[in-house]
Amino acid sequence: MVMRRREFVTLLGGVTAGWSVAAKAQQPDRVRSIGVLMVFAENDPEGRARAKAFQQKLQDLGWTIGRNVRIDYHWVTDPDRIRDIAVELVRMAPDVILVYGNQPLAALRRETRSIPIVFVQVSNPDGAGLVASLAHPGGNITGFSQYVLAFGGKWLDTLKEVAPNTRTVGVILNPENPAASGYLGAIEAVAPSLGVQVTPTPGRDAADIERAIEKFSHGPDGGLIVLPDFVAFFHRKLVVALAAQYRLPAIYPARFFVTDGGLLSYGVDQVDVSGRAATYVDRILKGEKPADLPVQAPTKFELVVNLKTANALGLKVPPTLLTRADEVIE
């Protein structure tokens, strides 16, 4: 399912208010255009929060929707439609594209080597061949990496801290995501020292996810790690519900899984990164080239714990972990 809507005035109300004399002095002779490929449904609160953070930062930098910039949002939730949407977006020839996720970025890279692209929510961009290097990305692409592959070991270690009896862990991954193997390798590297057997479980769509978790649940002392991927993001309510149904402790890569009832998450503050991405879009619109803007690493991380879910699973969260948590949901 894909929806697109051109936003000339506001996304969530109040975002486009204000206009300073300094910003007016900097405005270009024509309205500049930004295309956004967002891997959420249009009505998803997470996607809207990221769009709002992006637009708010743009406004702070002097860009007002309908006055000197317009934004065309493309909301995509179907992996089979990514290429078509990338083609459509490139045909519109925006001044710069903001894209979320490894697979959408790879699709855009195949379609254009000239339109500047700023990415977020992308893992291992240099290892995946999406940029030449982090310091010198080259070409028309730069952005903000969301995770490092070493997170894999951190997820397993944190899951064991909360559920110490876990002996087998199913790793929900999308085989089409080029970063999946890197995360899996990091998890497998630390698994022996924690006494855990790791089982990769593919999740290309909702049916895949349901089959994988149901099959994995038959083993004893199981747990789950959900890798960052837009398929898992879109189907997060299903993943959380299945983990609860089969009483599997699970760790997730983003806070919104836990606010939807998941046990715990450790990852990047993704709304914060969306705001930071606006700074690169601003610099490109003012004449800088993506090749000269180094890929930025994440700077703001968050550990979130859901005590209600822990209690339902019969787990006691260690006080040391609660002390480290950035947010505890009770």
Q: pLDDT grade, residue 219 (50/70/90)?
A: confident
Query: For the residues of 272-319, what is the DSSP string, one character each?
Result: HHHHHHHHHHHHHHTT--GGGSPPBPP--EEEEEEHHHHHHTT----H
The three-state secondary structure class of 251 is: strand
Residue in the block written with tokens 């801290």: 161
Q: Over range 157-185, report the average pLDDT.
A: 93
β-strands 2-7, 69-76: how paired? antiparallel
Measured from the Cβ of residue 31, the count of other Cβ atoms closer than 10 Å reads 14
Q: pLDDT grade, residue 262 (50/70/90)?
A: very high
pTM value is 0.84
| pLDDT tens-digit map of 273-308 | 999 999 999 999 999 999 999 999 988 899 999 999
**Does residue 24 register a pLDDT over 50?**
no
**Does residue 29 register a pLDDT over 70?**
no
Q: 101: closest CA among 303, 294, 277?
A: 277
Q: Over range 179-206, report the average pLDDT.
A: 94
Query: For the residues of 12-72, what is the DSSP string, one character each?
Result: SSSTT----HHHHHH--SS-EEEEEEESS-TT-HHHHHHHHHHHHHHHHTT--BTTTEEEE
Q: 149: closest CA among 129, 176, 178, 169?
A: 178
Q: pLDDT grade, residue 14 (50/70/90)?
A: very low
Question: Residue 130: how many CA atoms within 13 Å on its side-chain side?
Answer: 30
The three-state secondary structure class of 170 is: strand
Hey, what are 167's tokens? 């002996």
- Name the average pLDDT for the chain: 89
Torsion sign across C-alpha atoms 15, 20, 22, 28: positive
- What CA–CA distance (Å, rounded) separates 324 from 34? 39
- What CA–CA distance (Å, rounded) separates 15 from 240? 32
- What CA–CA distance (Å, rounded) separates 232 from 228? 7
DSSP strands (E only) in 101-205: 117-123, 141-147, 168-173, 197-202
Measured from the Cβ of residue 235, the count of other Cβ atoms closer than 10 Å reads 22
Measured from the Cβ of residue 98, the count of other Cβ atoms closer than 10 Å reads 26
- Set out the domains of the chain in order of their start, with CATH numbers: 2-147+269-299 (3.40.50.2300), 151-268+302-329 (3.40.50.2300)
Q: What single-letter DSSP state applies at residue 80?
A: G
Contacts of 223 (CB under 8 A, 6+ apart): 159, 163, 166, 168, 169, 170, 248, 249, 250, 251
Question: Residue 137: how many CA atoms within 13 Å on its side-chain side?
Answer: 26
**Does residue 20 register a pLDDT over 50?**
no
